[in-house]
Structures are given as structure tokens and as C-alpha cells.
Amino acid sequence: MPTLLLATQNAGKVRELRELLAPARWRLVTPAELGLGAVAPIENARSYLDNATRKAIAFAAAARLPALADDSGLEVDALGGRPGVLSARYGSPAAPTDAARCALLLRELAGVPPARRGARFRAVVVLALPGDRVVAREGTVEGRITLAPRGASGFGYDPVFELPDGRTLAELGAEKQALSHRALATHAMIEVLGALAGAPSHTPGDLA
């Protein structure tokens, strides 16, 4: 069974990725489990793809293993697509927690009616392989920003992102693993991982 490094230090992402990648025929490890030192590529690119690629390649080189990284963000129409690639650092340093960033977002949207609170979550997942070869997959979920947080599960902006059925991502529980932007991108990547595990002759170019 080949080994895949989950290129993140985010405990919430690790939990989700372990569940999402369970069907793949790979042994999943984290940087902490490998005793890796600080691997912190600067995520200042202008796209999710570039940020995820930087992370995947940096972790793959540090561990000498295939590595999977993601970058994702919340794009709010009324804010011109913000916070986008800056979602994880939105309002920093004044908003250092998920709850603080959600509160900041809601303040920025104060007075904006529900019909104009359209938004989407976008995720790009990148697999880095030896020789700096990469494969990328993307997932997007449409919705809108709520007037107040709802739900106790999930992380990040999940409590303020409402799906078309009226539930927030934080109200989905285990169902989020089938519906979220990260789930859609990761499910597409499972096909790539399965082909690589079962057919070594495949290359990323064959699977892109």
C-alpha cells in the first residue's frame, strides 16, 4: 500500500481528508506523524491552484513522499469575491479565530438583503509526485451567507454558509463529506489515486 502525506497542519482538514480518502488504497500520514520540522511555504499566490501546488510540492520534497494539499476559500458576490484566497487569513491579525472571521464577514454584510448574499466555496486539491509532477482537481458549492451563524459541526466559515436547501454546512454533520467543495474535489482525486495505486504505469499526464 503506497503512502500519501496529507500536506496540512490544520486538524479540521486532516479529519475531513482522512474520511474522504478512506476509499483510496493509500496509507495516509500527517507531518506530525512523520516528525517533520516546520514546512511552511508562503501562501501568497493569487490563486487556489498556485497555493495548493506550493504546499504539495514543499511537503513532498520534505518527506520524499507523494503529498496531497488543498487550498480553498469563500467567495462572496457582494464583496467582489472576497475573501477568496485570503479566507484563512481574513481580517488578520484582528480576527485570529474562525468565529472572529465569521463575525467580521457578517459585519461587512450588515444591511445586505438575503437575495444579494450569494456566495460559493471553492476548493482545489493538488497531488504532488516525484519530479514535481502534479495533478489538480477542483470542487465548487454554491450558496449564500446567513444573517447569523448556525450549526455546531464543521469549521471555518461553515456556520455562515447556507446551502440552497436552507441548511448551513455546520448543520450537515457527516453529510458534509458528500456535499462540500473539498469533498467534491477530493472525490475526483480518489480516481487518480486509485489508478496510481493499481497501475504504476500511469503518469499524472495520463490522468489529468
Predicted pLDDT at 153: 87
Distance (Å, rounded) from C-alpha 158 to C-alpha 29?
25
Q: In this predicted model, which residue has the larger pLDDT, 1 or 64? A: 64
Q: What mean pLDDT comes out for the span 73-79?
A: 97
Q: What mean pLDDT comes out for the span 195-205?
A: 57
Least confident of 1-5, 56-60, 131-135: 131-135
- Return the sign of the alpha-carbon dihedral for residues 32, 134, 84, 171: negative
Predicted pLDDT at 46: 83
Q: Residues near 69 by Cβ (< 8 Å), separated by ≥ 6?
A: 7, 8, 52, 53, 55, 56, 59, 125, 126, 128
Least confident of 37-46, 82-91, 163-172, 173-182: 37-46
Distance (Å, rounded) from C-alpha 121 to C-alpha 142?
7
Predicted pLDDT at 207: 47
Predicted pLDDT at 204: 43
Least confident of 53-62, 177-186, 195-204: 195-204
Predicted pLDDT at 144: 98
Topology (CATH) of 3-207: Maf protein (3.90.950)
Predicted pLDDT at 176: 86
pLDDT tens digits for range 23-57: 888 999 999 899 887 676 666 678 999 999 999 99
Q: Which residues are catalytic?
A: 71
Indicate the average pLDDT of the chain. 89
